[in-house]
Structure 1
Amino acid sequence: MLAILKKEINSFFASPIGYLVIGIFLLLNGLFLWVFKGDFNILDYGFSDLSPFFLLAPWILIFLIPAVTMRSFSDEKKQGTLELLLTKPTSLTRIVLGKYFGAFILILIALAPTLLYVYTINQLGNPVGNLDIGSALGSYLGLLFLAAAYTAIGIFTSTITDNQIVAFITSVFLCFLFYIGFEGIADFASSNFIDKLGMSSHYKSISRGVLDTRDILYFISITAFFIFISIKGIKNEKLQKKSWIQIASLFVVFFILNSAVNGIHKRFDLTKDSRYTLSEASLDIIKNVDTPIIIDVFLESENFPSEFRRLQTETRQLLEEFEAENSNIIFNFFNPLEDEANRDIIIEQLTQRGLTPMQMSVQENGASTQAIIFPWALASYNNQTVTIPLIKNKIGTNQQELVSNSVQHLE
């Protein structure tokens, strides 16, 4: 296996492809994170964490990893060297694993320079060193699990064709389907079960700095499954009935195993102050909810400044924790002022209900404008509605400090 692994790495760097892949990955990340204006710009984000990078990286890797893996077996098939490779005194499993780890190590090499972002953000923080290292570590682990799964998918697609372009396109499609496709289907069907079949929900959980055995087992299962069917695909180009039974059996085993750990899972919050771990008091209250609680959160807009985007994200993540503990917790995010025609009437109605609006500064096309936001949530339970303020007012603080303090006291 080591000989195959070394051969793969050497072949990457013997041609421009290895340097090109790493260069493109770093260039795209650098442009989106530090130069281009938008949701991924770290400087515009205004907080000392790497959330924009870990939101952006999966999308770049969807194209980067298939570009690395597309030649793994398809090129061997096209050149007619696959049969020669199979005659070597090593098992087919070791050959596949050698090519898999060769591609995965190249991805690790591409990710290594991004550790400079950790140092940079740590130095830019106010005060210096105001970076949650535990959260960053968890986020990198999540990215490695995701890259491992993408690589396994890429290796599989390269075994089913001798055309590198077909392997690339198929791999991109499958990576996209598993990362965001199931989430889209789940949103349409309102199914949490379908959502858990995709990578996105598991990656988002780990990328916050929370290691959950359910998420880790999911990524190990996906990776192992695609490596297994890669081996079967090479061994029997036209899969026999026995091979299909073995593949189906492995899928069932992984499905049962992932379902079984739901009740006995462990989670490790690596973040500073364990901010994603609910207190015992909160857990007791949530677990005792036996009828649906519907929470409507007025935090949905594409024009939020960075501090309100942070509040939006943290609120959503907290509610997702609630929902994971009790399915009776149902939440929705929406913009109460979306209806421009009745905007003034809606503002008056909400104000009369005690929901005080806030004025905020919004940057659009280089110009600063004032906008109105209602940082509130409404919780409906047993025909009663309770208003929940998301901003904790404190005299003498500016808008950014006010929102930051509120984020720290969400639970």
Structure 2
Amino acid sequence: MYSLFRKEITSFFGSITGYLVAFVFLIANGLFLWVFPGAYNLLENGYASLSPYFSLAPWIFLFLIPALTMRLFAEEKRLGTLEILITRPYSLLQLVWAKYLAGLFLVLVSLLPTLIYFYSIYNLGNPVGNWDSGAAWGSFIGLFLLAAFYVALGLLASSLTDNPVFAFIAALFLCFFFYTGFDFVAAMNIAPGVKSFFLKLGISAHYESVSRGVLDSRDMLYFVVAVAFVLVLTSMLLRRKQQNRRQQTKKLLGLLVGVLVLMTLGSQWFFRIDLTSEKRYSLSPVSKEMLTGLDAPLKVDLYLAGDLPPGFRQLQQAVAEKVQDLDAWAAQSVRLELRDPYEISNTDKRNKLFNQLVALGIQPTDLRQSQEQGTVTKLIFPGAVIRYGDQTIGVNLLKNNPSLAAEQNLNNSIETLEFELMNVIRQLLQGEKPEVVFLTGQGELSEAETWDIRSSLSENFRVTEKTAGQLLATDSLARAVIIADPSRPFGEQEKFWIDQYLMRGGNLLWLFDPVQVSLDSLSRGETTIAFPRDLNLMDQLFKYGVRVNPDLLQDVECILIPVNTSPVASQPKFSPAPWYYSPLLTPADDHVISRNLNSLKSEFVSSIDTVGRNPEVHKSVILHTSPYSRKVGTPEEISLRSINSPPARELFQQSNIPVGVLLEGQFPSVFANRMTNQLNSPGIQVLTKSKSARMIVLADGSLIANKVSRRNGQIRTQPLGYDEYSQQTFGNKAFLLNAVNYLCDNSGMMALRSRVFKIRSLDKVRLREEKTYWQVLNLAGPLVIILLFGLIFQLIRLKKYRG
């Protein structure tokens, strides 16, 4: 067997043909990856990743491997030496294996010079070495497995004929069919189960999974079984003259049954090894558990398609990869379909689709591209429509924080993909929605003033209104209670009910103003006095672990408002001016509630201190001011005229003043060791220590309020966090939705927002200055390596035969 293997290697590298085949493969790779512009160009991609190489390689292999394998058996048949080989003292299967291993070795020799690409990307990373080596080597394993299957198919084609050219064409067809043919069949309008079956038969789905750096036992088993099946089939075809057709049919059927049994067992018991450094393709336990609850196929229509910049292509690829991960663990198939709205040539139909996507909550973004005819602007929808049974939900996948660079926003979007997709799946699977209560009775914000947040919460929760006395009126406890900007003091009775709700494991979201400011006076241009507002809550919150201070905060990072800067008696001219009493609050980046969010618009916000050393209550600051802020004591005179004489810049020396705090754990009751007979008229059991509970305190009631206008008897509301002057929507709604979801999260899904992926970009300065050097190195370097290999090989042969 070894002698046959050595014979094939010697004959291949002993002729010019072998080197020409390797040269064509390496030149094609080098041109597409380093020179020609396009989606496969590693330098234009901008990221320290070899994923374009692993996407291109299967198509280059379609020509390389048939060229390497076409003569393995066809040449033997043409020269009449196959019969001599069959009579040798080894089995026909050993002969096939020897030929196969020789072909695989030839492919490996052609692949090894491309390791210079690994060296180049490693050095071009910013900083040097900033790349995911685990993912790259895992992808290389996937490429080797793909080559192994292609070689087996090429060997099968070569065994069918004595014409090497026909063997090349047959191998090309077989490789192409197994890589894309089953995908074409699956793309037809057939049953989901049949579609999934055909997808699993093809190479593409298995290779795409492994080429990311994920070793799934089902994919590995597919390649091993497929190669073994093709090699056994090849040996049977070579022996077909020596056995009758019935014997061959029985063996083939037995072989097919064995393959099906192995694949079935492999799909039931499997494991996955994620070789990426950040385990970016590993799902959390909560996601895996939820996916087992799918009882129908899930379809993800991604509208991020067409001609896209590298950043959006990476987001598109990340979504496709995440859907693969979901499908790997789901009880039913999870499929992705890319849809480009601009493939619809009819403008009216396209605009109708745009309106449907906006109605589903998918927000478009402008994309400007430079083309020959000039700069072209078009709308793209970086979102997906998820369909499950008769339910349809849209989800935005692009995180757009104006304070961050586009690259960072795209990376943040990729980090939260699992959370966004699983949050939609949770909505699709949940039965009765948990209850979230807006407290009433103390002059809280009206339904119109909280319309935007209520409508968004209603997608996941049953939103109701209750007074404090109704919180414990039923056996079922509301999952969370929102106290939205009360204006009247709380009595002891209301405080008692809220306290006992908390003691029973309820969760609270407090938003209130400890300082009262007359906005009507300010809007009329008058001077107003800001003075402390007594809501009779300070003792209760102090007992729980926080103190909300009756002060006001000013911040250099603030809202701009229009101010008339023209002289008196002249036509008004409005210019933007900073209004320091409306800080743009910064969400803390170290907590799942607040990380990767845009700033929050606020108005007359106060500071919060954490107090006490209760080890059973954990406290986290989730919202704070910028590094350039200050506190102003009250009472304080406030007027818009102060814009013309702002405070000195050096006064803003306080940094990151807390305005939002999360408390979680077991809280002490405010009513412990107190007489509660008069307050406890129903005679409920008074608990002095809470079950595990959560509480968020925000020192600004306006954070949850959307603007309301009344025109012609109609009430109109603006989006929460929308600023009319800048026409920008800030992160108020996203922050509050995360806050409520965190309070109500018993499964740990919110922890999915804590995933961090490192940005691995190429060094743009080095690319600009050294581009030609790296192009020459990666185009000529692999060719030099092959030449050196050939030279050494020939020298060894000369030395051996001369000696």
Aligned-residue offset at 1:330:
5.1
Q: Which moved more, 1:128-137 or 1:7-16?
A: 128-137
Check 1:328–1:5 CA distance in 2 against 1; reply closer, same or farther (3 A cut).
closer
- Determine if the alignment matches structure 1 residue 264 to structure 2 residue 261: no
Distance 1:345 1:217 in 2: 46
Aligned-residue offset at 1:408:
2.4
- Determine if the alignment matches structure 1 residue 202 to structure 2 residue 202: no
Check 1:239–1:48 CA distance in 2 against 1; reply closer, same or farther (3 A cut).
farther
Alignment of 1:188-337 (within 5 A): 188=188, 189=190, 191-237=195-241, 240=244, 241-290=246-295, 293-301=298-306, 303-324=307-328, 325-327=330-332, 329=334, 331-337=336-342
Residue-by-residue CA offset, 1:325-376 (whole Å, 9 max, x unaligned): 1326455432345445135565566556643321223344596543321212
Aligned-residue offset at 1:247:
2.1
Distance 1:366 1:10 in 2: 56
Does the 8 Å contact 2:305/2:338 carry over to 1? yes
| TM-score, structure 1 as length reference | 0.93
Partner of residue 97, structure 2: 97
Does the 8 Å contact 2:362/2:384 carry over to 1? no
Alignment of 1:332-411 (within 5 A): 332-339=337-344, 341-342=347-348, 343=350, 347=354, 350-351=357-358, 354-364=361-371, 368-380=375-387, 385-411=392-418
Q: Which runs of 5+ in 1 are unaligned?
A: none
Does the 8 Å contact 1:212/1:267 carry over to 2? yes
- Determine if the alignment matches structure 1 residue 28 to structure 2 residue 32: no
User: Secondary structure in 1 aligned to 2:187?
Assistant: helix
Q: Percent identity between the aligned chains?
A: 41
User: Secondary structure in 1 aligned to 2:395?
Assistant: strand
User: Secondary structure in 1 aligned to 2:278?
Assistant: helix
User: Secondary structure in 2 aligned to 1:272?
Assistant: coil
Residue-by-residue CA offset, 1:175-212 (whole Å, 9 max, x unaligned): 11111111111111351101101111111110011111
User: Secondary structure in 2 aligned to 1:11?
Assistant: helix
Aligned-residue offset at 1:286:
2.2
Partner of residue 555, structure 2: none
Does the 8 Å contact 1:183/1:195 carry over to 2? yes
Q: Which moved more, 1:270-279 or 1:90-99?
A: 90-99
Does the 8 Å contact 2:153/2:171 carry over to 1? yes
Does the 8 Å contact 1:233/1:239 carry over to 2? no
User: Secondary structure in 1 aligned to 2:128?
Assistant: coil
Q: Which moved more, 1:354-363 or 1:343-352?
A: 343-352
Check 1:297–1:77 CA distance in 2 against 1; reply closer, same or farther (3 A cut).
closer
Does the 8 Å contact 1:161/1:167 carry over to 2? yes
Distance 1:125 1:66 in 2: 35
Match of 2:398, as an amino acid? I
Check 1:139–1:281 CA distance in 2 against 1; reply closer, same or farther (3 A cut).
same
Distance 1:351 1:186 in 2: 30
More strand by share: 2
Check 1:11–1:269 CA distance in 2 against 1; reply closer, same or farther (3 A cut).
same
RMSD, matched Cα: 2.2
Aligned-residue offset at 1:293:
4.9
Does the 8 Å contact 1:305/1:363 carry over to 2? no
Does the 8 Å contact 1:390/1:410 carry over to 2? yes
| TM-score, structure 2 as length reference | 0.49
Aligned-residue offset at 1:15:
0.7
Distance 1:361 1:133 in 2: 34
Partner of residue 177, structure 1: 177
Does the 8 Å contact 1:305/1:361 carry over to 2? no
Does the 8 Å contact 2:196/2:333 carry over to 1? no
Residue-by-residue CA offset, 1:115-173 (whole Å, 9 max, x unaligned): 11111111112222221111111111111111111111111221121111111111111
Q: Which moved more, 1:346-355 or 1:188-197?
A: 346-355
Does the 8 Å contact 2:298/2:332 carry over to 1? no
Distance 1:186 1:382 in 2: 20
Match of 2:254, as an amino acid? S
Does the 8 Å contact 1:65/1:151 carry over to 2? yes
- Determine if the alignment matches structure 1 residue 164 to structure 2 residue 164: yes
Q: Which moved more, 1:335-344 or 1:370-379?
A: 335-344
Partner of residue 108, structure 2: 108
Distance 2:29 2:340 in 1: 31
User: Secondary structure in 1 aligned to 2:368?
Assistant: strand
User: Secondary structure in 1 aligned to 2:156?
Assistant: helix
Distance 1:366 1:12 in 2: 51
User: Secondary structure in 2 aligned to 1:296?
Assistant: strand
Does the 8 Å contact 2:363/2:396 carry over to 1? no
Distance 2:222 2:388 in 1: 34
Alignment of 1:63-74 (within 5 A): 63-74=63-74
Does the 8 Å contact 2:361/2:396 carry over to 1? no
- Determine if the alignment matches structure 1 residue 43 to structure 2 residue 48: no
Check 1:282–1:115 CA distance in 2 against 1; reply closer, same or farther (3 A cut).
same
For the pair shown, the structure with the greater C-alpha radius of gyration is 2
Match of 2:45, as an amino acid? Y
Q: Which runs of 5+ in 2 are unaligned?
A: 419-803
Residue-by-residue CA offset, 1:295-347 (whole Å, 9 max, x unaligned): 4332122x111111111111122123223313264554323454451355655
Distance 1:207 1:101 in 2: 22
User: Secondary structure in 1 aligned to 2:379?
Assistant: strand
Tell me the number of residue pairs that the alignment of Structure 1 and Structure 2 aligns: 410
Aligned-residue offset at 1:291:
5.2
Check 1:17–1:28 CA distance in 2 against 1; reply closer, same or farther (3 A cut).
same
More helix by share: 1
